[in-house]
Amino acid sequence: MEPGGKAARFSSGWAAKALPQRLMLLLLTLLSGRGLHVVAAASSSGAAAEDSSAMEELATEKEAEESHRQDSVSLLTFILLLTLTILTIWLFKHRRVRFLHETGLAMIYGLIVGVILRYGTPATSGHDKSLSCTQEDRAFSTLLVNVSGKFFEYTLKGEISPGKINSVEQNDMLRKVTFDPEVFFNILLPPIIFHAGYSLKKRHFFRNLGSILAYAFLGTAVSCFIIGNLMYGVVKLMKMVGQLSDKFYYTDCLFFGAIISATDPVTVLAIFNELHADVDLYALLFGESVLNDAVAIVLSSSIVAYQPAGLNTHTFDAAAFFKSVGIFLGIFSGSFTMGAVTGVVTALVTKFTKLHCFPLLETALFFLMSWSTFLLAEACGFTGVVAVLFCGITQAHYTYNNLSVESRSRTKQLFEVLHFLAENFIFSYMGLALFTFQKHVFSPIFIIGAFVAIFLGRAAHIYPLSFFLNLGRRHKIGWNFQQMMMFSGLRGAMAFALAIRDTASYARQMMFTTTLLIVFFTVWIIGGGTTPMLSWLNIRIGVDPDQDPPPNNDSFQVLQGDGPDSAGGNRTKQESAWLFRLWYSFDHNYLKPILTHSGPPLTTTLPAWCGLLAHCLTSPQVYDASNLGRVKYVPRESSPEIWELRALGENQEPLREEDSDFILTEGDLTLTYGDSTVTANGSSGSHTASTSLEGGRKTKSSSEEVLEQDLGVGDQKISSRGTRLVFPLEDNA
Amino acid sequence: MEPGGKAARFSSGWAAKALPQRLMLLLLTLLSGRGLHVVAAASSSGAAAEDSSAMEELATEKEAEESHRQDSVSLLTFILLLTLTILTIWLFKHRRVRFLHETGLAMIYGLIVGVILRYGTPATSGHDKSLSCTQEDRAFSTLLVNVSGKFFEYTLKGEISPGKINSVEQNDMLRKVTFDPEVFFNILLPPIIFHAGYSLKKRHFFRNLGSILAYAFLGTAVSCFIIGNLMYGVVKLMKMVGQLSDKFYYTDCLFFGAIISATDPVTVLAIFNELHADVDLYALLFGESVLNDAVAIVLSSSIVAYQPAGLNTHTFDAAAFFKSVGIFLGIFSGSFTMGAVTGVVTALVTKFTKLHCFPLLETALFFLMSWSTFLLAEACGFTGVVAVLFCGITQAHYTYNNLSVESRSRTKQLFEVLHFLAENFIFSYMGLALFTFQKHVFSPIFIIGAFVAIFLGRAAHIYPLSFFLNLGRRHKIGWNFQQMMMFSGLRGAMAFALAIRDTASYARQMMFTTTLLIVFFTVWIIGGGTTPMLSWLNIRIGVDPDQDPPPNNDSFQVLQGDGPDSAGGNRTKQESAWLFRLWYSFDHNYLKPILTHSGPPLTTTLPAWCGLLAHCLTSPQVYDASNLGRVKYVPRESSPEIWELRALGENQEPLREEDSDFILTEGDLTLTYGDSTVTANGSSGSHTASTSLEGGRKTKSSSEEVLEQDLGVGDQKISSRGTRLVFPLEDNA
């Protein structure tokens, strides 16, 4: 028999009989970079198939079939886990159990299955087809192997430490359930992050934007450095007591600080949502966690990029430090721009085509454009995940308004399902990884140190920043809010994804193990403790953000917390808000009219010389309203840079527009509760009409309603500054 | 410098700086089995990073970056293509252009981009890192390479024919856009097929089930053998004139017959939908094409499995033939069972949990269960795609009824978007492949022969079968319908996916090229000719299947076509329908009550001794209705094996249930138009209440309505057999 016979046999048997098996292989290749050892040699010629022994073929086919079956079983394991999680979540929601969140549950199921896989499956020796060929000088990414005249192509999979050569295939099942870490970054994180941006409660987010940015940027940086330095101390201690068996540099510690600074209070926020806890606290926590994920990603890659010029790569070098800072700023702003630009392009496309007549096309376009953000950012060397976040925010702010009603719910629901599946998959995987991951390094000192460090890091992040923010904030972040934010420093999917990306070195393995344990304990303990904590801290629950706040202004009291100078708010407001005011008027007067169908016509806000352009860019719908003579846009008296809609005729009231999510006028900062919330299943829009108390006068309107009102449709009357406005309230019920 | 330095450098540089690049790599690995030559060696130890030259590192990084950029660009190409297609489709729909369908358009754009890529990009020589090591005896799936003490793991990618060694990396960009064929089978086809099953118009499908099964099974087999034999003749001819440069066996011809017999009249059906063409013709075409995809897959793998015992594998061998038939039956019935079982399990889970309170969980569960069908079937050695089809049908028939209203639209929309994206992706890829695929074998004789063969094969499939079916059918398939079915024999995604799976041999490459051309021409020419053909054949359009048929029964005339014995229908009906009647009564009396919330209580249909079980399995909602004393289930007079719902009191009318999609009583076969349709965007349910003409009496009701009616809610009256029924018709408007 020819020496090359078996290989040829394998390929041909493969092509011939194992049709269904081949289907599976690729799917698994997709998900498991490590799981697949038998790769089909699909290019064997049919002619070579004739001379072979049936026995060998059978054996090879059996092997391929076996491998294929294991692949299917490993994927089925995860589907089973997710299905179980879904059913149990339902039971929990049904019984109103709040001490364990779905993500915590997914981890528990993952842990159980991990134990079973680890101790319940036999350690198969594996069909070791390995072969050494030792005459090479260096490793190439592609290898051509000449086997008696036939050429086979091999690709480099990775280096194997010499000690592990014999255990490479020790337990196939454990290998199969261990996915390629990049899957988390490329497949699972983007929908989670996009959904976070897309489902942002815009009003409350923008109202607290300054604080959120401070917490996310400064806070994360502070937390990263505090944790990094504390951990360096711990590492020094470990060296002294001889607990450290390999190198652990200062940059490693900083890297650990960066990855562990990505908070993910998904559990807390789910409970906030369910209990309708305070919306501002929600906005602070949610906004911070969304943005600090982005900061943590970019921070960690900047730390990795910190490369001093000399040979000693682990001392401080000012040039390299500033280079890292530059990289941080470059990557962050680049990713931000990329995301915003694709969002804007999508908004323009949806505005200027009548795509909204075909919701399927619209949804598909929306999905493709959002995905292309990720690819574009990656193609330009930026961070796709960060770009996707800002794309989500832009899409929600502009594009969403141009979509048809059906597409709005379709896109929300599509990303909601993707987000749900991805998130629970990651958490199941975390549970599984504790037992199936084969390179754990458990170091008790490091773990205890890390717990202490993240506690101190979180404290150094929240309390000083809150103090400084309160100096400038009109509505102080109360002591109880600070405590709650301190408490909500859970670590989740992002920390895990960052930790698992590189587990090659001893230090990284120790970090990975520690991160996993931190995620477990914060999710379980903090998740379970949220409800008691809320009541212990006296944080208002049961607030329906779509309703008026109670007339006695207790919400105001709570939000003010212990802050003493709530009366002097007007003084600080102007200073803190000028930048934001600038942005708002720009957005309101130019961006919204250009990108959506709302806002004042550009013909009124742009200078006269660009009249034609302004006319082309303004949506006809805006003209329709203006031309009917019912409403007109005029500069607001209090802040003339903002053009606002007014009804003509006897009542010259400024009218709130449907999309005015973050109008900043006096007195409405705390008392505006008109935005909609993301409900437990997240499927809400920001398009319920606003109801707000503005400095004592009650206005409930939108531009459409005003039109209806003037046409005599409305029938309910609300007293308002001496005049009577008649609005149809059915739409708002 | 150490010899292993560069490899270590590569890995470490990789891990260190190319963070964003690594993100992309995996995504591309997912989609392009061929596109990726540089695989990260993620396991380099941090310690080894210290001794290196910066220049080498830089070069490697540049290379990785370049490869990464190309990956992103190639994916972006497809996204751009899809986006362009969507925008143009919108324009076409907007302008009511019908001569070019979106799939045809996607192909044209693909073609254009293919030409640009082929002739517009420079043929990069590629950074050839290949290396020969010639001392091997055989090819292994894994290779361990010892590079100066470091071990690297390589995996087998495939065999390369000796002539192509130098051209392996000839044009990176062309390679990158050439995806792994299995992607089509594992990622893109399942959602398309599932959607087909899930969006099936049940009533019209089941009404024509016998004919559809005959066309799909017998027809496809006939077509496969006719085409196979004709092509064998063509191949013989080519041999004679010396046009055949390699082997081409009879089994290859049969294989070609199988893959090219999978029709895909997506263009025709889209136009049918838009023009509201005859629903029965739609059902025949749609049902046939859905099922014949499944038949073609299994048929092609059975032909591949045809292995005679002797050495000469290309002669006829009765044993092997029957083995192939056995394999066909085994795979088909196994896949069918697998799909039906997961559907039933999902139905039970959604029935017995109150998951419908949480649409997100419900949708996620539905998605996971449907996906697990694919994996389960693959794990058991069946065909995942076929299983997914029957899973879709089962889900639509049972599970759909248990879902909450929100989940119904969510699941429909989710799979609709997936289907839309996958389908257009495949068609864009086809356009691209004509120029970028590097192994085309254009053989004019074979191509012309194939066009003639598919025409003859389609004719031999449609006309004789229709003749025999008309012998048994009460409602003949008219001559114009037969012509239209003949005309609608387009080839599409399935034929392409089957053809691209194996393009290793000369014969397969020729088949692939021919299939591609057949798809092009049938989609463009037949797609463009559908509207003229419809009017030329006098096929009724503008039928709204949700409305009553016109009173003068012209639909009946058309459906009868030229059939002479339409009066003798009653004679043949009983014979042809007995099997179906049996199934219907079983489904109605046992399956529906067990799996959904509708149907008669099992306590009445099951024998008394299984009372407790029956009680547990019956939905409380059914009891609620019965216990109110308003309705009761009694055996139908005309066919006592079917229990039906009757209102108590003065009007003892049999009531149509909401889900009675295919009740078979006399006279209602042609005249029942009460089912809903899948509209242009497919988001309809089967839950608009039925309006039907049953043998002259008009009944419009559902069990819920009857309850409402008795409670005095209704206000509209319909005269019915002397009594007056009062129904609330708001719900049906």
pLDDT digits (tens, 9 = 90+) for B168-200: 444 566 666 677 777 777 788 889 989 988 988
Please check whether residue B290 is in contact with residue B195, taking contact to mean a CB–CB distance below 8 angstroms: no
pLDDT of A94-142, one tens digit each?
887 777 888 888 889 999 988 888 887 665 544 444 444 444 444 555 5
Q: How many helices (H) and strands (E) does chain A have?
A: 31, 10
Q: Could you say which residues from 258 to 317 on chain B have a Cβ atom under 8 Å away from some Cβ of chain A?
A: 301, 304-305, 307, 311, 313
Please check whether residue A411 is in contact with residue B358, taking contact to mean a CB–CB distance below 8 angstroms: no
CA-CA distance, B428 to B86, in Å (whole number)?
A: 12
Classify residue A709 by burial, with Cβ atoms within 10 Å: 0-12, 13-18, 19+.
buried
Please check whether residue B259 is in contact with residue B300, taking contact to mean a CB–CB distance below 8 angstroms: yes
Torsion angle in degrees (nearest 10) through CA of A21, A25, A27, A30: 180
A111 touches chain B (CB under 8 A): no
Residues of A in contact with B36 (CB under 8 A): 155
DSSP codes joined into one string, A321-369: HHHHHHHHHHHHHHHHHHHHHHHHHHHHHHHHS-GGG-HHHHHHHHHHH
DSSP codes joined into one string, B600-653: S-HHHHS-GGGHHHHHHHS-HHHHHHHHTTSEEEEE-SSSTTSEEEEE-SS---
CB neighbours of A382 closer than 8 A, spacing ≥ 6?
A331, A334, A335, A338, B20
Tokens 């289930």 belong to: B633
A33 touches chain B (CB under 8 A): yes
Higher-confidence residue: B147 or B237? B237
Confidence band for B77, pLDDT divided at 50, 70 and 90? confident
DSSP codes joined into one string, B252-311: HHHHHHHHHT-B--HHHHHHHHHHT--HHHHHHHHHHHHHHHHHHHHHHHHHHT---SSS
Residues of B in contact with A355 (CB under 8 A): 86-87, 90
Name which of A327, A331, A309, A328 is nearest A318 in CA terms.
A309
Please check whether residue B314 is in contact with residue B250, taking contact to mean a CB–CB distance below 8 angstroms: yes
The per-residue pLDDT for B568 is 38
* Tally of CB atoms within 10 A around B696: 8
Mean pLDDT of B636-651: 56
Please check whether residue A562 is in contact with residue A479, taking contact to mean a CB–CB distance below 8 angstroms: yes
CA-CA distance, A357 to A375, in Å (whole number)?
A: 28
The amino acid that residue B729 corresponds to is L
The per-residue pLDDT for A579 is 64
A235 touches chain B (CB under 8 A): no
Q: Helix B493-500 vs helix B189-198: angle between axes, to the nearest 10 degrees? A: 150
Assess whether pLDDT exceeds 90 at residue B340: yes
Assess whether pLDDT exceeds 60 at residue A350: yes
Name which of A591, A621, A217, A199 is nearest A413 in CA terms.
A199
DSSP codes joined into one string, A112-131: HHHHHHHHHS----------
B357 touches chain A (CB under 8 A): yes
What is residue A32's DSSP assignment?
-
Tokens 């859970």 belong to: A490
CB neighbours of A203 closer than 8 A, spacing ≥ 6?
A661, A662, A672, A674, A675, A686
pLDDT of B203-239, one tens digit each?
778 778 888 888 999 999 999 999 999 999 999 999 8
B99 touches chain A (CB under 8 A): no
Mean pLDDT of A386-404: 91
Residue B450's alpha-carbon distances to B179, B442, B460, in angstroms, are 26, 12, 15
Assess whether pLDDT exceeds 50 at residue A268: yes
Name which of A673, A217, A291, A210 is nearest A474 in CA terms.
A210
Assess whether pLDDT exceeds 60 at residue B104: yes
Residues of A in contact with B157 (CB under 8 A): 39, 41, 152-155
User: Does an H or E element contain B224, and which?
Assistant: helix B220-240
CB contacts < 8 Å between A and B, how many? 483
Please check whether residue B605 is in contact with residue B634, taking contact to mean a CB–CB distance below 8 angstroms: no
CA-CA distance, A107 to A42, in Å (whole number)?
A: 39
The reply to whether residue A378 touches residue B24, judged by beta carbons under 8 angstroms, is yes
Question: Chain B residue closest to A302 (CA)?
Answer: B17
The per-residue pLDDT for B34 is 32
CB neighbours of B347 closer than 8 A, spacing ≥ 6?
B394, B395, B398, B399, B402, B595, B596
CB neighbours of B574 closer than 8 A, spacing ≥ 6?
none
Residue in A21, A160, A361 nearest the CB of B86: A361
The per-residue pLDDT for B624 is 56
Summary mean pLDDT of chain A: 70
CA-CA distance, B47 to B36, in Å (whole number)?
A: 28
pLDDT of A183-234, one tens digit each?
777 788 889 989 988 988 777 787 788 888 889 999 999 999 999 999 999 9
Assess whether pLDDT exceeds 50 at residue A496: yes
Higher-confidence residue: A576 or A638? A638
Secondary structure in 3-state letters for A414-474: HHHHHHHHHHHHHHHHHHHHHHHCCCCCCCHHHHHHHHHHHHHHHHHHHHHHHHHHHHHCC
The per-residue pLDDT for B635 is 61
Count Cβ neighbours within 10 Å for each residue of A656-679 and write b for 16 or more, e otherwise: bbbbbbbbbbeebbbbbbbbbbbe
The per-residue pLDDT for B7 is 34
What is residue A48's DSSP assignment?
G
Assess whether pLDDT exceeds 80 at residue B372: yes
Mean pLDDT of B111-137: 63
Please check whether residue B478 is in contact with residue B235, taking contact to mean a CB–CB distance below 8 angstroms: no
Name which of A285, A682, A711, A655 is nearest A477 in CA terms.
A285
Q: Could you say which residues from 131 to 150 on chain A have a Cβ atom under 8 Å away from some Cβ of chain B?
A: 131-150
Torsion angle in degrees (nearest 10) through CA of B39, B43, B48, B49: 60
CA-CA distance, A372 to A448, in Å (whole number)?
A: 42
Backbone φ and ψ for A45, nearest 5 degrees, come out as: -80, 150
The amino acid that residue B99 corresponds to is F
H helices of B318-395, in order, are 318-352, 359-379, 384-394
Mean pLDDT of B265-282: 82
Beta bridge partner(s), residue A692: A672, A699
pLDDT of B515-568, one tens digit each?
999 999 988 888 888 888 888 888 877 766 554 344 333 333 333 333 333 333
* Tally of CB atoms within 10 A around A140: 23
Residue B353's alpha-carbon distances to A78, A405, B411, in angstroms, are 21, 31, 18
Q: Could you say which residues from 55 to 84 on chain A have a Cβ atom under 8 Å away from some Cβ of chain B?
A: 65, 68-69, 72-73, 75-76, 79-80, 82-83
The reply to whether residue B90 touches residue A4, judged by beta carbons under 8 angstroms, is no
Which of A12, A74, A157 best probes binding to B when mutated, by most B CB atoms within 10 angstroms? A157
The per-residue pLDDT for B333 is 92
Residues of B in contact with A159 (CB under 8 A): 7-8, 11, 41, 43-44, 150-153
